[in-house]
Structure formats: C-alpha cells, structure tokens
Amino acid sequence: MIIVIQCKDQVGLVASISAILAKHQLNIISMREHVDKVENMFFMRLNIDDGKDELLLENYIKEVLPPDAIVSINPKPSKKVVVMVSKEYHCLADILIRNYFGTFGATVQCVIGNHAILQGICERFDMPYYTVSHENISKPEFEEKVAAIIDQYNPDYIVLAKFMRILSPAIVAKFSMRIINIHHSFLPAFIGSNPYRQAFERGVKLIGATAHFVSDELDEGPIIAQQIIPVNHSFTAADMVQAGKEIETAVLAKALKLVFEDRVFVYKNKTVVFE
C-alpha cells in the first residue's frame, strides 16, 4: 500500500503519521520524506506492508495533519491514460508495447492524433485511434473536438507522446498537472520548435530530452525527468533527431513510471521525485 502526503511543514508530522501506522500494526517498508525549507512544505511517500480499510486510515491520518493536507492512499489500482500523438512513432510504440504486456503501470484508453499516420500501429493492438486533423479548422474547434473525445474516457493523465501542437490554456487548466509532455531537448536549452536544428547550429556535444508537466508557459512546466546522450561533429541535424528519439523514448517511459507509481509531487513549478 502506498501513502502519499503533501502539506505545510510543522514539527511532529512524522511522529503523528507514524504513530497512527504503528497503532494499526502497519509496518513501514520504505519511507521517503522531503521538507522544502524555502516553501515550508512537507512531502512524504510511504510503502506499507499491508493495509485494509484504506478510507478509515486516510481519515485517521488527515486528522493529525494541517487542514490543507493532500493525502492519497493506495492510489487507484490502475491509472487511465489518453495518449496524443502527431507523426512520430517511437514514444507511442513503446507505450503500446508496455500497455499490451501489462507493464505500463497504467491503462491506455485511446490514442488521439492530429495525423492518421499512427492509426495502423494502434489497430494492430486493438487500440482506439481518433484522427482529429488541425487543418482547415480553428484552434478552439480543434481542441473542442479533442476535448470531446477525452471527456468520453475521463482519463487520469494525458500523455503527449510527440504531439507537436501547443495546447491552449483552457485545456491545460482543465487537466492541471495531469498532462505530461516529452520535449526533445535538455530544457531550458532550446525552448520551442526544432531544438535539434538549434543544437546542431550551436555545436553542442550533448543532446537531451525532458519529460515535464504541461503548464501555460511553453516548455516551462515542472520537470519530471531528463537525460542526455553524447553527440559530435559527425552528427548532422537529422542524425541528432534520430539519436534524440532513443532518449525521448527512454525519458518519457521513466517519467511515466515515476508518475504512475506515485513518486512525483508537484509544487510551485517544481517536482519532488522519490526515485
């Protein structure tokens, strides 16, 4: 059983929480705790041996915490996820494979693409695919159509698996800190479009990828995970794109695993990640 807690910090929080667990004979397998001294915030993730009566336990814990506390016990057995894509297959295929073999840590409900290119691979996995073209249509109309599909599924998270359109504040606000994007650069370097072209022109020796929650500011949301790979003078911009795909796939997979295992807390445009 996983318990995640986020609230204002105060003396005695660990004592209060662990006293309740001990009282119910619950053994702590692992505990991660972080206090943000600047923001005076307390974050905790507990892995408990066992635990019936989750609702009761949640109430007991809430009783000893400040009123603003967020407590989540044994988060839902499987998160539901809608994936959005454009043309590139690498992140989507990785997700479909893990979903198919039951190792994704969540359940993919459907895939929405602004192109039809990736419909074929989804069909091979009997995965519903919706093509919503962004052409000959206004942005609000496009997003309305997308939102209508999402609403059917009521997902816990939306994963932008190389979805190359910028979402408007309305849709971002609706799924606040529940939209996860993979950006094809080592943020905050190379914000915006065509980062590999920018990286090539700058002559960098490493390129990276960043998985982050989406906020209203382009590529400015809280970062979940980042990784890099070395490049050199022999890489064309196209080679960098190619090499970047491997790292994009890996970083997005890692970030999603962390999120689905309730290891990621968001606060003030930053994340606390208990790896």
Residue 270 binds a copy of itself, judged by CB under 8 A: yes
Return the range that interacts with a copy of itself (CB under 8 A); candidates 57-65, 136-144, 161-169, 267-275.
267-275
Query: 106: which strand partners?
Result: 79
Phi, psi of 181, rounded to the nearest 5 degrees: -120, 150
Within 110-149, the residues that bind a copy of itself by CB under 8 A are 121, 124-125
Of 97 and 137, CB closest to a copy of itself = 97
Residue 60 binds a copy of itself, judged by CB under 8 A: no
Residue 18 binds a copy of itself, judged by CB under 8 A: yes
Of 2 and 228, CB closest to a copy of itself = 228
DSSP, residue by residue, the chain:
-EEEEEEE--TTHHHHHHHHHHHTT--EEEEEEEEETTTTEEEEEEEES--S-HHHHHHHHHHTS-TT-EEEES--SSEEEEEEE-S--HHHHHHHHHHHTT-SSEEEEEEEESSSTTHHHHHHTT--EEE---TTS-HHHHHHHHHHHHHHH--SEEEESS--SPPPHHHHHHTTTTEEEEESSSTTTT-SS-HHHHHHHHT-SEEEEEEEE--SSTT-SPEEEEEEEE--TT--HHHHHHHHHHHHHHHHHHHHHHHHTT-EEEETTEEEE--
Of 34 and 80, CB closest to a copy of itself = 34
Residue 2 binds a copy of itself, judged by CB under 8 A: no
Among 2, 134, 227, 239, binds a copy of itself (CB under 8 A): 227
Among 1, 31, 64, 171, binds a copy of itself (CB under 8 A): 31
Residue 100 binds a copy of itself, judged by CB under 8 A: yes
Return the range that interacts with a copy of itself (CB under 8 A); candidates 15-23, 56-64, 136-144, 163-171.
15-23
Q: How far is the CB of 42 from a copy of itself (least distance, A)?
A: 9
Residue 34 binds a copy of itself, judged by CB under 8 A: yes
Within 231-250, the residues that bind a copy of itself by CB under 8 A are 232-234, 246, 250
**Could you list the active site residues?**
219
Of 124 and 139, CB closest to a copy of itself = 124
Q: How far is the CB of 191 from a copy of itself (least distance, A)?
A: 10
**Residue whose pair of structure tokens reads 């999603």 in the numeric block:** 256
Residue 260 binds a copy of itself, judged by CB under 8 A: no
